[in-house]
Chains A and B, each alone.
Chain A
Amino acid sequence: MWAGRVDEGFVFGDLTEEVVQTLRGVPMLIESSDERVRSRLLPETCAEQQDEEHWREHAVPELERLFLSRATLVRRDLELLRKLPKSENYVLLVTHQHVNAWVAALNAARLALFALNDLTAEHMETEGFSGASAKQQEAIVRISLLAELQAVLLGDFEAPDDDGEPFFPDPVGDYD
């Protein structure tokens, strides 16, 4: 895999079928209804039950909508994956407007893989890898792969806007 900047954003090239399969899993992971994933992406936030209920009522629905809109955006971008002439591998374009959504979506997918495969902090260390099951090792490789893409895109992660533009606007229209 290689990555490069173009006028429109970032291009990731030479993506093998395995890498593409991992990327196609990103929106599905974000949308997972598995309790382990949901409790990590929408964690308990307040110690007091009354405060937690207030949080669940007022903050969580907006977060859920935002996550789903990111999943939709990533899925749409992945539909544009193309093979280069005379190549079996794919090329992905992530435009500047979509970078923030992609960075967060990749993080969510990495966290979901971690939760779904019952991984621990020790597994993520070099020494811990050998102690993981084959399925867990595959998940760790996918987590690392998505981190590579995330690290590239972080170079374009936006700083706060000087003009006071809201950071958390309408989630549905956020990245369109």
Chain B
Amino acid sequence: MKVHAATKEQTETETSAKTSLASPWNVIVHDDPVTLMGYVTKVFERVFGYSESKAHRLMMEVHKTGRSVVWTGAREQAEMYAQKLQSHHLLTTLEKVED
């Protein structure tokens, strides 16, 4: 029983360490000269559930600076969001956040 308890504790510690070491990922949308600005805003609202004002602000950041980090978080979810954005043809990349 003692051995079992020790193994369980060790596993939990390893899992915790792995979780804390997993870097978040940025979902980045890049500007393109073709896609309508109103469309970009609507896609942000739809994909992330952002308010119209937040979606518009992010769209303007893309338009003015060439790119915007539109979401940051766990890799799996970042990939899901990137896939949704690319399904609407927004120019989207993923970037691991370095420590």
Q: Which residues of A contact B96 (CB under 8 A)?
A: 48, 51
Give chain A residues whose Cβ lies under 8 Å from the Cβ of B87. 63, 66, 104, 168
Chain B interface category by residue count:
20 to 34
Which of A11-19, A20-28, A86-94, A149-157 is near enough to bind chain B?
A149-157
Q: Given A46-B94, A124-B34: A59 and B88 within 8 A (CB)?
A: no
- Contact stretch, chosen from A36-44, A77-85, A129-137: A36-44
Q: Taking CB as reference atom, which chain B residue is nearest A124?
A: B33
The residue in B38, B45, B89, B94 that gathers the most chain A C-beta atoms within 10 A of its C-beta is B89
Interface size on A, residues (CB 8 A): 37
User: Shortest Cβ distance from B65 into chain A, in angstroms?
Assistant: 14
B72 proximal to A (CB < 8 A): no
Tell me, in angstroms, the Cα distance from A47 to B87 when the chains sit together: 20
Query: Given the complex of chains A and B, what is the CA–CA distance between A111 and B40 in angstroms?
Result: 14
Q: Which residues of A contact B33 (CB under 8 A)?
A: 114, 120-121, 124
Of all A-B residue pairs in the complex, the 3 with the closest CB atoms, nearest first, are A121-B33, A59-B83, A124-B33
| With A147-B36, A150-B39, A151-B38 already in contact, 7 other A-B pairs whose C-beta atoms are closer than 8 Å | A45-B82, A47-B93, A107-B89, A114-B33, A120-B33, A143-B34, A167-B46
